Amino acid sequence: MKQFLMLGGLLMAASLIAPVAVKADGNDHRGEKRYYDRDSHDYHYWNADEDRQYRGYLVEQHRTYVPFPKVKVTQQREYFKYRHDHGLQIVVR
Structure confidence by residue, pLDDT tens digits, 66-91: 999 999 999 999 999 998 888 765 55
Domain-embedded: residue 3 = no
pLDDT of residue 61: 93
pLDDT value of residue 40: 85
Quick one: which of 73, 80, 78, 79 has its CA closest to 42? 80
Q: Which residues contact 60 (CB under 8 A, 6 or more apart)?
A: 90
**For residue 40, what are the domain limits?**
33-85
What is the domain count for the chain?
1
pLDDT given at position 75: 95
Query: If the chain, 93 residues long, is cut into consecutive pieces of 10 residues, what is the mean pLDDT of each piece?
Result: 74 67 57 86 88 92 94 94 77 49
For residue 21, the model assigns a pLDDT of: 53
In a domain, 2, yes or no: no
